[in-house]
Amino acid sequence: MVATVSSVFRDFLFPFADYFRSQGWQVDAMASKVSACPQCVKTFDRVWDIEFSRNPLELKNLFLAPQTIRAVVAQEQYDLVHVHTPIAAFITRYTLNNLRKQNKTKVIYTAHGFHFHSGGNPLKNALFLSLEKLGGAWTDYLVVINRDDEHSAKRFQLVRSEQIVYMPGIGVELNYYNRHNVSETDISKVRQELQLAPNDQIFLTIAEFTLNKRHTDMVRALARLGKSEIHLVIAGSGPKPLMDATQQLAIELGVEKQVHLLGYRQDIPALICASVATLLVSEREGLPRCIMESFCLETPVIGTDIRGIRDLLLDNRGLLVQVGDIEEIAAAMNWILDNPQKSKLMGQRGHEHMSAYDLNNILKLHQDLYHKALFC
């Protein structure tokens, strides 16, 4: 498994490593500074550090990374390489193309949301589309995780249609994200940590700090509500300047006591159950797992009307708002507060929709794909 940074393994791929190792596979990982991640070292058979940068303009992506990839793959003689995240996926596929041609290594690419998308900058869209077309020539199977990307992959012929595989996300552990496993004590601990009064209510967002996630839109919407008993809780880490800018905006808008930046958290189920709704106002997503986690816990969701989020919230399973529309976000938050019973039913409808996204189902789909890639 190859990704640009090791957090991709921690956040999404550990269950896949555990499952396939239990089936007798050797499962290794390659990413930038992956050996510095103790969980990665424990979860995989071997880990390999690679000089990837998340900046696509970094020259080491083109000159240093391919040398290491080529050497490691030649040494280990992998049957299959599964790549994730755009930069790592592009560089790895480019590097391994000759091995593919010799039928020695199969390469699968999971697109966690193409970087070209409706509403995106036209120049960036053209650039990323061109790169995906180029990378498609070096790919045995392309996995897409939302219907918009499936449509785009076919429309732009990124690979042949028989090489496109739709999977409903990368899986969510239904047993872990189960409301019956979250006690009132767990919820009370969250509220005590935040020093909430009995009538205070929480809107939660689970999102790393990037410009794409638009955290400041939620702060502005909170200020627009004008309700001191409503709190915005942000679970996620990221560059300090972005986190500081979000906190500074809260101060400027007079809601600093209502905005809580928690950083990376491991008690996500308790945070979700302590909240009246989950917010996700990104401008680009693949298929956001935080929404699936919220639905598993029967918590309603407000999300932007973009690919991936639409897949999950259509059919009255959530409230869709336009990207950057502060008034609409605030109105949706007000609706949740004013309609607790309808909100509860919305969360329940989301819960009923989750069986297809069960991690066990996704693992089975991957097993079938790997068998097809290697033996058919």
> Are residues 122 and 196 both part of a single domain?
no
Q: What is the mean pLDDT of the chain?
A: 94
Mean pLDDT of 230-237: 97
pLDDT at res. 120: 85
Helices (H), ranges, the chain: 7-8, 14-22, 38-43, 60-76, 86-95, 97-101, 122-136, 147-155, 184-193, 215-225, 240-252, 268-273, 289-296, 309-313, 326-338, 340-352, 359-375
State how far the Cα of 282 lies from the Cα of 270, in Å rounded to an integer: 23
Using an 8 Å Cβ cutoff, are 290 and 281 in contact?
no
> Are residues 136 and 251 both part of a single domain?
no
Nearest to 132 by CA among 101, 147, 110, 148: 110
pLDDT at res. 59: 55
State how far the Cα of 153 lies from the Cα of 176, in Å rounded to an integer: 33
Read off the pLDDT band of 154 (50, 70, 90): very high
> Are residues 291 and 146 both part of a single domain?
no
Find the domain containing 70 and state its range: 2-171+358-375
Helices and strands (H, E) in the chain, number of each type: 17, 13
Q: Which two tokens stand for residue 220?
A: 């502005």
301-304: strand order across its sheet: 259-263, 230-235, 201-206, 277-280, 301-304, 319-321
CATH of the domain at 291: 3.40.50.2000
pLDDT at res. 98: 86
The percentage of the chain sitting over the pLDDT mark of 70, rounded to a whole number, equals 97
> Are residues 27 and 9 both part of a single domain?
yes
Model pLDDT for residues 184-217, shown as the tens digit of each residue: 999 999 999 999 999 999 999 999 999 999 999 9
3-class DSSP state for residue 172? strand
> Are residues 140 and 156 both part of a single domain?
yes
Mean pLDDT of 232-247: 96
> Are residues 204 and 343 both part of a single domain?
yes
> Are residues 157 and 212 both part of a single domain?
no
The pTM for the full model equals: 0.89
pLDDT at res. 364: 97
pLDDT at res. 56: 58
pLDDT at res. 65: 86
pLDDT at res. 54: 64
State how far the Cα of 245 lies from the Cα of 241, in Å rounded to an integer: 6
Q: Provide the CA 86 distance to its chain's centre, in angstroms.
A: 13
Which pairs count as long-range contacts for 26-29, CB under 8 Å and 24+ apart, including other chains?
A: 27/1, 28/1, 28/76, 28/78, 29/1, 29/2, 29/3
> Are residues 154 and 227 both part of a single domain?
no
Least confident interval from 64-73, 173-182, 287-296: 64-73
Mean pLDDT of 287-305: 97
Judge whether residue 352 has pLDDT over 90.
yes
Q: Which two tokens stand for residue 166?
A: 């739709």
- Phi, psi (degrees; rounded to nearest 5) at 358: -55, 135
> Are residues 371 and 261 both part of a single domain?
no
pLDDT at res. 290: 96
Judge whether residue 163 has pLDDT over 90.
yes
Model pLDDT for residues 85-142, shown as the tens digit of each residue: 988 999 999 999 988 778 789 999 999 999 998 888 899 999 999 999 999 999 999 9
Query: What's the number of domains the chain is made of?
Result: 2
Task: Tell how strand 106-111 and strand 141-144 pair up.
Answer: parallel
> Are residues 18 and 159 both part of a single domain?
yes
SS percent in the chain: helix, strand, coil, step 5: 50, 15, 35
Using an 8 Å Cβ cutoff, are 72 and 47 in contact?
no
> Are residues 115 and 256 both part of a single domain?
no
Q: Provide the CA 142 distance to its chain's centre, in angstroms.
A: 17
> Are residues 161 and 225 both part of a single domain?
no
Model pLDDT for residues 34-83, shown as the tens digit of each residue: 999 999 999 999 999 998 866 655 655 666 788 899 999 989 999 999 99
To the nearest 10°, report the CA torsion of 164, 174, 44, 375.
Answer: -40
pLDDT at res. 53: 67
